[in-house]
Amino acid sequence: MSETPLDVVSISGVVKRFGDFTAIHDASLTVRRGEVHAIVGENGAGKSTLMNILYGLLPRDAGTIELFGRPVTFSGPAEAIAAGVGMVHQHFKLAPSFTVADNIILGSEPLAGYGRIDRARAERDTAAISRRFGLDLDPRAVVGALPVGLRQRVEILKTLYREAQILILDEPTAVLTPQETRELFATMRTLAESGHSIVFITHKLREVLAVSNRISVMRQGRIVATLDNEGVTAQEIAGLMVGRSVLLRVKKAKAEARDEVLLKVDGLEARGERGEAAVDGLSFAVRSGEIVGLAGVQGNGQDELVECIAGLRRPVAGSVEICGTKAVADPRRNRAAGLAYVPADRGGVGLSLASGIWENLTVGHIEEFGRGPFLAIKAARARAAELIRRFDVRGATLDKPAGSLSGGNQQKVQIARELTRDARLVIAEQPSQGVDIGAIESIHRTLVEMRDAGRAVFVVSADLDEIFSLSDRILVIYRGRIVADLVASETDPETVGRYMGGLEEAPPAAAASVSEAADHVH
């Protein structure tokens, strides 16, 4: 192989407009053979849009794209795939009821439609390709039953089966556990060493430094810098992204938890989608003036637990109290009792993507505007405009559908709505998922301010950075039980990670303090 780096992708002067809004201004970028090239930038900077253009999902309004030295214009992803470009979106596009082999072969079977797939051959091919790239997968496993990390592996193998040379991963680690992230990085390095090129979009600067060869920074639709990953620090990248220096961890005073219990969970049991005991006798309390983080690997009962608190799921035993009122299986009543809730699933539960941004910001606040329909709409719109400014929702106008916002800006909309509710208990699931570091700083600061104002904050996250940056107390959930109750300042990510993996038994003291907490509350 030649020693000189070869540009396999060369994007030059690309422009993209949505109506009269210009999302990409004159963006230029090269990707070399065999490199991992990270793209970072604030929410709405244009990262996904630029990559969607390369992948043929969106047409461009100006500029050129060369692939392996030849100019290309794709009219759809099928053409990009045929030319050697693969993309894995944050929201996977797999068929959940099909097997791994079916999903990997689906759409590439040359003669028959997928109804007449040669199953034995599909399984043989899948096994061969997973061996070739060292990505272990059972070809017969049903995709819907796999953990997220393995589903992502199916997506990656699917592009490799189609002989992708250039692989675009849009925020692939947002949904992964630390262990899955390490495995993904090993895969990325192996692929790069075998001559593939990887474009890696992420908001986590530690990951950028850990895995990439070069780093491009996008700001307001332009690539403003491309750096070699040598001697660069997270602070420097953050500064280039945001145009100011950023606190990578919010400073906060010591918590002053008061005695008033605002969330009390007592002997809670709940079943999951398949009837399994997902929440298996849980008791804990969150008090006014503290932030309690719930750490756990996805799928250990945290979804079901939060659904029971929010009123989206009926428990089979035990009880939940919100600000002294018994919770019921009715989200509206639990909100009325004093609950604000930021769900992880912003597209499904949290937002109505087809509705206007102002409407999304107003739901749940209607009571504040009850002064006759016209006044109410006017007041609600004025307040929505104020929230857009305050929470720095980029690219927003009042009437744009929420779905046209970039991923991180959608998250800011649901954060803005929920954190401005007059609620004493705040439950936030992955509150900073997909948001850029500047916005994480402001979301974290808001949560700490709420704590200091005497609210109770319960943060559920698989991201240990987030858990440690926010929590005063850390609970670890494993197989539907609380296996540790730790003071954040007296523990470390390693220890919490071991509890998350079920590698550490709860010491008797921790177990006692959990049940004690439950006994304590009136």
Ligand X SMILES: Nc1ncnc2c1ncn2[C@@H]1O[C@H](COP(=O)(O)OP(=O)(O)OP(=O)(O)O)[C@@H](O)[C@H]1O
Residue ranges in contact with Mg ion by CB under 5 A = 48, 407
| Cβ count near 325 (within 10 Å) | 14
Is the Cβ of residue 48 or residue 360 nearer to Mg ion in the bound state? 48
Of Mg ion, ligand X, none, which one does residue 300 interact with (CB within 5 to 8 Å by kind)?
none
Closest approach, Cβ 20 to ligand X, in A, equals: 10
Of Mg ion, ligand X, none, which one does residue 394 interact with (CB within 5 to 8 Å by kind)?
ligand X
**Whole-number Cα distances in Å, 336 to 2, 291, 376, 383:** 67, 21, 20, 20
DSSP state of 183: H
Closest approach, Cβ 467 to Mg ion, in A, equals: 24
Is the Cβ of residue 360 or residue 410 nearer to Mg ion in the bound state? 410
**Whole-number Cα distances in Å, 84 to 9, 158, 167, 501:** 11, 12, 8, 38
- Residue 325 binds ligand X (CB under 6 A): no
- Residue 172 binds ligand X (CB under 6 A): no
Q: Answer for the pair 40, 435: CB distance below 8 angstroms, yes or no.
A: no
Of positions 404, 491, 495, 515, contacts ligand X by CB under 6 A: 404
- Residue 48 binds ligand X (CB under 6 A): yes
**Whole-number Cα distances in Å, 302 to 178, 220, 424, 500, 514:** 17, 37, 21, 12, 17
Of ligand X, Mg ion, none, which one does residue 76 interact with (CB within 5 to 8 Å by kind)?
none
Interface of this chain with ligand X, residues 7 to 26, rule: CB under 6 A: 18, 21, 23
Is the Cβ of residue 358 or residue 478 nearer to ligand X in the bound state? 358
C-alpha to C-alpha distance for 514 and 282, rounded to whole angstroms? 9
Q: Is 189 helix (H, G, I), strand (E, B) or coil?
A: helix
Task: Find the part of the chain contacting ligand X (CB under 6 A) among 38-46, 159-167, 247-255, 351-359.
Answer: 38-46
Of ligand X, Mg ion, none, which one does residue 216 interact with (CB within 5 to 8 Å by kind)?
none
- Residue 241 binds ligand X (CB under 6 A): no
C-alpha to C-alpha distance for 394 and 382, rounded to whole angstroms? 17
Q: Which residue of the chain is nearest Mg ion when measured via CB?
A: 48
Of ligand X, Mg ion, none, which one does residue 39 interact with (CB within 5 to 8 Å by kind)?
none
Question: What is the per-residue binding string for ligand X in 415-454, x denoting contact by CB under 6 A?
Answer: -------------------x--------------------
Residues 6+ apart with CB under 8 A from 67: 8, 9, 83, 84, 85, 166
Q: Answer for the pair 277, 269: CB distance below 8 angstroms, yes or no.
A: yes
Is the Cβ of residue 103 or residue 411 nearer to ligand X in the bound state? 411
CA 307 to chain centre: 18
Of positions 395, 431, 438, 480, contacts ligand X by CB under 6 A: 395
C-alpha to C-alpha distance for 387 and 413, rounded to whole angstroms? 8
Q: Answer for the pair 351, 415: CB distance below 8 angstroms, yes or no.
A: no
- Residue 356 binds ligand X (CB under 6 A): no
Of ligand X, Mg ion, none, which one does residue 311 interact with (CB within 5 to 8 Å by kind)?
none
Q: Which of 54, 266, 63, 270 is nearest to 165 (CA)?
A: 54
Interface ranges with ligand X (CB under 6 A): 18, 21, 23, 41, 43-49, 394-395, 404-409, 434
